[in-house]
């Protein structure tokens, strides 16, 4: 099987639920469903923000800690 090492929330909708977050058909942000290690905000996120998110994820050593959620500016 495949082991998931890091989960990303990508974009405003993934990070906050965006305009769909209050909908009856949405569970809001990704972190409401699965643990998120890195949030990359933006609509759409810039390529630089994506790269910074990937670097933030790989710069941590070992498995992600429970409750840790690095967020990018």
Residue-level pLDDT at 22: 80
Taking Cα atoms as reference points, which of 58, 53, 57 lies closest to residue 72?
53
Residue-level pLDDT at 5: 81
- Burial class from Cβ neighbours inside 10 Å (0-12, 13-18, 19+) for residue 47 reads exposed
Residue-level pLDDT at 69: 55
Mean pLDDT by 10 residues, the chain (73 residues): 84 91 88 93 94 88 57 53
């Amino acid at each position: 099987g495949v082991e998931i090492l890091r989960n990303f929330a990508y974009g405003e909708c993934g990070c906050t639920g965006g305009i769909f977050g209050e909908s009856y058909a949405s569970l809001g942000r990704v972190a409401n469903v699965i643990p998120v290690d890195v949030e990359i905000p933006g609509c759409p996120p810039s390529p630089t923000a994506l790269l910074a998110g990937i670097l933030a994820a790989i710069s941590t050593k070992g498995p992600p800690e429970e409750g840790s959620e690095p967020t990018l500016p």
